[in-house]
Structure 1
């Protein structure tokens, strides 16, 4: 290689580089000098060292010679590209490019072309452990052939650079770490930092050791590190055990109370670390601990207060609670005495106490010497303190002497309760002067709060127990079931003894059973849903009452009346529900009987249409039943019932007699019974019959009158009709007797002998009986016998057939009752004669009975015209002419005109008898006398 230095130059360059390294410790200076020496040794224009950047895949130009400004420390090569630098680093092999324009393996960075680089050679720089640092590269601006000797030189140079770079980086890191550590140590004022030798003698007193522990470095160095441990820990070998654990495990926890120079305690949270050299030889110990005194005290306070609350919770009397609080508070504050007492005017009564090295103050003590002004400071919630009684300006000499004689040199008294006349307080006392710190006062106040709450609870529970005792006494004496349930689970918590009597189940069994389900099953099914809804509403906060039935196990049904109410906790939540349950079976049965009785009475009143009244004679107030309103012609509720309202509706002709009957009944103390008429607004007249009775007080003054009325209008009408019917009956009876007598006489005259009389007489009596049958079937006195019924009856009686008989005329012609019997006898005579001699007795005979109804123009009455015509009868034949006396013809021609005012005609024609009868008939349906 004629264009670069020989081997001597290269050896000299290595030697010069070694001298430079010995005299310098700045890595950048050493790397730059190395590049200069390499470039000179190889006769190159440019040289550089590129360092792989941490956390990226790039290499930066760390040092170099011959490069323009802006390249050193800025120019980078992406190791992901096909660069010679990337290849050399990845393969840990040198790379030679004699002419980059002919090189196809790599892509070259732009800054090389900008500097006119044509040829280059590079080798990787490896740190100890073959960790790649970067590359050493020599660049030339003209083509040249780098040979094996060049490569070997560069590799040797790179091998020298690797350890140098590693040492200098380590030194730099150590310097940085030492600097950071020094900053930490110098600023770790919240930490105790102590270094000791293998014998645990203090060599360094660092960080916040002086501020936290109180000793200066000059006082501490050379002392044993166990100086910061408490006397108890030293006596128990705690420092030795801690060092032994550190030697064995490398470190040992050191979390405990330590000692300050002034004798107070500090709580350190830290550890002791064993310090060893590279040969694992123990060189000493490093103790680090953070001041956690405040946190520890807070934790201890909270733990103390929690333990106190737990211990007080189990106590039930004020004396027990006060004693427990005093005995727990005394050791925590390290005081000589804690008392709980009451101040009444100028006398103190101590009922609970803790003492440590001082005499007891239990009992009563006079406080007059303290003065009213000082005692006036004891008010609810106040904390009265004195750090030094002897120097207390607010206490007179006598008071100071009294307190000091009781071994009270300092005190802190917290008023717990103040009801105006008696003050209950918690007193903390020291036999020597003492400054009550804010922490002391905080603890005293916190203990006071828990003491107050516990005493309140105890008093409340005492009151509750007294209340429960009274409830139990009341429950045992009561015949009602008193019960209490848990509002959430509905489990019974209390049942009075009456439960067993009512339910038939032992109280103990009910309290331990799954009682809500078993109790629900006892409720009669139709009542069950209503009762459960009742309980739910009480659980929601309502007060409610309900009646329901239960079915006992013996099958008996009982009615219970339950009044339930919520029982709330102090926060207003419904915690329990309770109630009083009464057996009302008998009263319910009585109510049912009363309801049934009232229903029967109401039914009787309704069916009997009774109008009831109840008159308060003193006030004039009257109650009318609904029917009474209607009887008087009022709508129900239309007016307010009164005496005047009753009188105003009485018929004027009956009014004075009705009022006289009332007065006579009241004054004569006799029953009222009177019948009178009322006039309704529509003008209708109604008969009423009233009966009533007066009631009197002890002075025989009328108090009340009750009574009932029935309407007798219909009865009165029936009575009137009855009179008419009786008169009619008498009239008809007389007529019937007359008819019977006439029939008998006429039949006797026309009979041949007694046998003939018997037949004729019986036949005519049968006719009379038939017509009486028609009359008896009339429904009322306005009903009438019709002519078609009469003619059908008589023709049927003689067996007239429809083939030989014609019967025609208007239906429903009403006959006067007075004419029926006589007309019926006439028809009977015609029919009988027709059977014996006429149309109904001859095969060829025919009978036509027709009638019509026409008004008569002269008198305006309605007339019934009856036409009886026989035909087909051979009157010359034997037996065709009627025989006998002619009683039938006589009845028609004489009796009918005489008795009924009838017009008649009777003749014997060639074909048989022809008879016409015209009689007046009933004009109106409603005329009872027609």
Structure 2
């Protein structure tokens, strides 16, 4: 069992300890198995021999002096002795105790502690022993003889003191007789005594128990004893007791420290795995709550003296998530928060720190005891971690320290998360800005001209991979893209930016990807360090080639507009002239002219909306019918795939469809209730050629003449103009029930919009 030494402190667990009973002259009368193993001799070789004869000659006189002193004074003797063994010597601490009681067969109890291994490890353990020495110097040992058959113990005064007994009080080491043993230890100690007293065992008692003293304090006692048997009956136990309270406290503190560090490591790992503030609060609160067995743990961010709790851990209590003013829980909490202190209350109802006016808030929240760790950022902001109990509770220092450490780590995790989120948002905004920008954004090192950053627009404008331009070795590559005539001016302006000026200039580049000349406008500006030196230069390059080309193209558009206006006027003039030639009255002329110009205007309006897009044939048919007061209904059906017409083709087809619709309303299928018009088109393959086949078929009439008596402008427009303008072929049939037109248009680029 572990033993103590006034000089060295605690011996390591497992240090061999042997017991021997000695006669007054120092001869060995009894020895336990540990004694035999320490001295390397059989028990039979030890009994009857003077203990001093086994010591090395250099230590023999010291041991004899110790025997003389204990016989004369009765005081405990302690010394270190080298004993001879067959395989060498062993260093042993010998402690001699006067055994109380007259007529003892072994008036001296020798405790032999094998310290040879300890000495070898002493250099390694010296630092640890020095830390523990102050705690262990107070440790004291007592001795006893327990007359088992008489249920009577003869303790020395030290043992009585360790057990908190008066000098005349009776003591028995029977578990049933030690009244102040802690109940949780009684059963274990009783079992250890039973094993030691069993005739088939080794007769050794070695057990640690807790004793509750009269003042309520608890002391750890280590009891070691050797049982002597009379036959198979246990007769007597001789042994020693040692106060190991300090050792137990240190062991408990070490365990607690290791457990705390393991918990904090697990907490740190858990917090690193989450990135949202709500999850950080929940993870920290849950782990601490489970660790302390608390009813509630809540972390609050404090902003402008208002606490915000996003998540809390609860066990048999209600959640308090939400927002509330810090002053709700009293001025004591507010003052502590402003000073960054921890408030600990074991019993809310009886704590003098709290005013009666504050108790209602605690009662409403179900808080009877709490730890409040207050963390201050400034006078109005910070954080707090609360650990709550539904019942009064005495918080230990270790629990308070743990709560403070968890609060600090949670605070750090929240700060880290907020900083990372802000950094991500900033980077995302910058990335979105640079990615969305059609201009080239760039940054160069002012001293080396190394390009450190290029926005994605560089690849589109310059036609070169960005990576090929980054780095010091590519400084000249960028300027090599500038046309020779503009290169010197661009370099001089960049030098001005290196010298602290803000400059704007223009230059041209030849883009390698397509060999195009691009016009660029560049703004370059210096970027200063904290000392006002130009550390970097930045710039924005804008490709204004499109604007330049647009200016040139504007002249072309003006000419095209003039051409289109002349053509439009020519068409209108032709429509007006031909309409006049085929109209019998002014009213007839006005009606036809208005309808034809309207049809032409509708196509022009569609073209004007998007000159580059084709005119959908289906919409053209529907719009024309609608203008002629007809629409798709029981009388009119429209069917065909989506086909886009070029603007010129749409003009001609629109006029033709208008004429067909006008004739149908006046003379054809739409002039009688029973009339119907079926309009359809399809794309047909004719060998290597593809044609748009458009069919206008009327029905529901009767006794329609085979052919009209004369040909008007509308018929001429359908047959001649389509053929001339669009290379169309027209098949017209006059059936008794109605007219049928089949118009076949070649699917060519000038007619069909792909």
Fold shared by both chains (TM-score > 0.5): no
Greater RCO structure (CA 8 Å; 6+ sep): 2
**What is the TM-score normalised by the length of structure 2?**
0.37
Q: Radius of gyration: which is bigger?
A: 1
**What is the TM-score normalised by the length of structure 1?**
0.31
